[in-house]
């Protein structure tokens, strides 16, 4: 079962979905202008053998918005903070 949750990075709340702990962690990152739901068709197969995490980048899906902070380094710092968590 997938559970939608929120993680607070240094600048914004990041929405993500987490699957059951059925194996090693697997982090799924969507493309620009997309959201975690883009993986919906493959998530059932991936969650059979992995503990899946799929965050929405800032400004995408249900994640928070930050005025003028949508460059690659901003997305990257959010992902690193998520991994460190």
Per-domain boundaries in the chain: 3-84
Query: What is the per-residue pLDDT for 85?
Result: 87
Cβ 39 vs Cβ 28: under 8 Å: yes
Query: What is the per-residue pLDDT for 78?
Result: 95
Phi-psi region of 39 (alpha: psi -120 to 50; beta: other; left: phi over 0): alpha
Confidence of residue 9 (pLDDT cuts 50, 70, 90): confident
- For residue 41, the 8-state DSSP code is T
| Polymer length in residues for the chain | 85
Which value, to the nearest 10 degrees, does the dihedral of the CA atoms of residues 65, 68, 69, 71 take?
120
Q: Which CATH class is domain 3-84?
A: alpha beta
Identify the residue with better confidence: 11 or 48.
48
Query: What is the per-residue pLDDT for 16?
Result: 98
Query: What is the per-residue pLDDT for 7?
Result: 96
Give the mean pLDDT of the chain.
Answer: 96
Cβ 70 vs Cβ 59: under 8 Å: yes
* pTM (predicted TM-score): 0.93
């Amino acid at each position: 079962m997938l559970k939608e949750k929120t993680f607070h990075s240094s600048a914004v709340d990041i929405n993500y979905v987490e699957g059951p702990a059925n194996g090693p962690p697997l982090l799924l990152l969507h493309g620009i202008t997309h959201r975690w739901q883009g993986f919906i068709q493959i998530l059932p197969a991936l969650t059979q053998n992995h503990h899946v995490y799929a965050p929405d980048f800032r400004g995408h899906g249900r994640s928070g918005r930050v005025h003028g902070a949508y460059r690659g380094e901003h997305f990257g710092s959010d992902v690193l903070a998520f991994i460190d968590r």
